């Protein structure tokens, strides 16, 4: 399993006009082929009057790569979009480029450049984020220890996933795999061994979003 990967931070749209043909690139994060196809169908319905809805997507799990020229000459549309995703080393990303034909043929080179550039524009507008595989650590402690743990997490730039309040408090933390043992030792010392810590799962986390696996 990859320790880190790059993906888009969210949805984005990029546009390009070339010899009266209008290209609209819609970019969004996806985690499965089923989700990708659902998004493609939504866009086909939205842009029902367009000549082409070309797509490409990549998935981290299984290293899946798919594309479609959707009626454009073979190799002039889907592959240029996929090449952009590969060059930027992006995973779990779908790009659909919608083309409204302007009446002027662009030729093979023109189509390749237009679809590739539209995809780039959409990705730039979506933004790129690096995600890191982390352990999810459940820290069970007393209410009197909660303030210490929250302050420590803030000082160490450790993300808090959630806090559950019952007869005790359970704080869920994210930490990189390579730094988990150190964190467990620090929490033991911080709470005088009064808190119990358990690794309950893993998740990829980024700057803005979290995707649990």
Q: Does domain 131-212 have CATH number 3.30.70.240?
A: yes
State both tokens at 66: 């798919």
**Residue 213: band (very low, low, confident or very high) from pLDDT cuts 50, 70, 90:** very low
pTM beyond cutoff 0.75: yes
Listed in sequence order, the residues at least 6 apart from 87 whose beta carbon sits closer than 8 Å to its beta carbon are none
211 has a pLDDT exceeding 70 = no
End-to-end CA distance of the chain: 11
Cβ-contact 203, 174 below 8 angstroms: yes
Q: What CATH homologous superfamily does 4-126 map to?
A: Impact, N-terminal domain (3.30.230.30)
Residues of the chain with pLDDT > 90: what percent?
94
Domain boundaries, the chain: 4-126, 131-212
Report the candidate in 4, 26, 29 with the shortest Cα–Cα distance to residue 14. 26
pLDDT band at 96 (very low <50, low <70, confident <90, very high): very high
């Amino acid at each position: 399993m990859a320790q880190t990967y790059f993906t888009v931070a969210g949805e984005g749209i990029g546009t390009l006009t070339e010899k009266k043909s209008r290209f609209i690139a819609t970019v969004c994060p996806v985690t499965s082929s089923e989700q990708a196809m659902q998004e493609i169908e939504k866009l086909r319905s939205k842009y029902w009057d367009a000549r082409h809805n070309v797509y490409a997507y990549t998935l981290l799990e299984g290293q899946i790569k798919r594309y479609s020229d959707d009626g454009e000459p073979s190799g002039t549309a889907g592959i240029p979009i996929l090449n952009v995703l590969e060059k930027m080393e992006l995973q779990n990303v779908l790009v659909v480029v919608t083309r409204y034909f302007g009446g002027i043929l662009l030729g093979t080179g023109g189509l390749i450049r237009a679809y590739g550039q539209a995809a780039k524009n959409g990705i730039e507008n979506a933004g790129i984020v690096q995600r890191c595989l982390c352990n999810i650590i459940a820290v069970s402690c007393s209410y009197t220890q909660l303030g210490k743990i929250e302050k420590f997490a803030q000082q160490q730039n450790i993300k808090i996933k959630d806090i559950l309040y019952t007869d005790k408090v359970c704080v869920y933390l994210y930490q990189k795999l390579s730094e988990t043992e150190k964190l467990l030792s620090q929490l033991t010392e911080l709470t005088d061994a009064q808190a119990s810590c358990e690794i309950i799962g893993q998740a990829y986390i980024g700057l803005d979003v979290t995707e649990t696996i």
